[in-house]
Structure 1
Amino acid sequence: MNPILGRSSPILKCIPGKINGTAIRCITNKIQDIPIHTGQKWDANDYRLVRFTNAPKQVNTNWAVNLIAEVPPKEVTERVVWCDGGSGPEGHPRVYINLDKPGNHSCGYCGLRFVKKDHH
């Protein structure tokens, strides 16, 4: 008995047979959940997986955090740079990034990284 739905779920328990002349659809395989970009993954017995009985769950494996990590940091000579994510309707509000401390500094909106290049 499923405590959430108040009845037996076809994913959790399957009893083949007929009720009032209607055949009962029997699902014997448990559905395995695929983690999404936030790491969310449900147990095989979770009632929320019932929506994926007829079609598989589609998860985009090209997560934005992995794609932006492939872009190399932009080397600049200024102490302060600005990022607008590509300007215009494709971008984001302009933010200023201080590069006084060593290392990469990323934009809070789009994740592009900047590094101060020493000009010695």
Structure 2
Amino acid sequence: MTTQAPETKIVDSYRISCDGGEGALGHPRVWLQISNEHGWVECPYCDAKYIHKDHADSVDT
């Protein structure tokens, strides 16, 4: 059995929310802040990686 890699999303805001995206099977909504220094943040629940569009070319996906 293989484990799927966490989802990566390009976003246009530095403050985003994540709820797991699976309705009742998701997780509590959390608000995440993307730092200007790194340009990305990972959700502590589902490990989804959010990359700000201004940093999309410089961050490894």
Global fold match (TM > 0.5):
yes
Kindly provide the amino acid, as one letter, of the partner of residue 62 in structure 1.
T
Kindly provide the amino acid, as one letter, of the partner of residue 13 in structure 2.
E
Of all paired residues, the percent bearing the same amino acid is 34
Bigger share in strand: 2
Please give the alpha-carbon distance, in whole angstroms, between the structure 1 residues aligned to 2:46 and 2:52: 19
The residue correspondences of 1:1-120 to structure 2 (distance < 5 A) are 61-63=1-3, 67-69=4-6, 71=7, 73-100=8-35, 101-118=37-54
Provide the secondary structure at the position in 2 that maps to 1:96: strand
What is the TM-score with the length of structure 1 in the denominator?
A: 0.39
Provide the secondary structure at the position in 1 that maps to 2:24: helix
User: What whole-Å deviation, never above 9, does each CA across 1:64-112 have from its counterpart, x for those lacking one?
Assistant: xxx124x3x2111111000000153121000111012324311111111
Q: How many residues are aligned here?
A: 53
- Over 6 Å off, 4+ runs: none
Please give the alpha-carbon distance, in whole angstroms, between the structure 2 residues aligned to 1:99 and 1:108: 13
Question: Aligned-pair RMSD on alpha carbons?
Answer: 1.7
Please give the alpha-carbon distance, in whole angstroms, between the structure 1 residues aligned to 2:40 and 2:14: 13
Please give the alpha-carbon distance, in whole angstroms, between the structure 1 residues aligned to 2:13 and 2:40: 14
Stretches of structure 1 lacking an aligned partner (at least 5 in a row): 1-60
Bigger radius of gyration among the two = 1
Kindly provide the amino acid, as one letter, of the partner of residue 5 in structure 2.
I
Stretches of structure 2 lacking an aligned partner (at least 5 in a row): 55-61
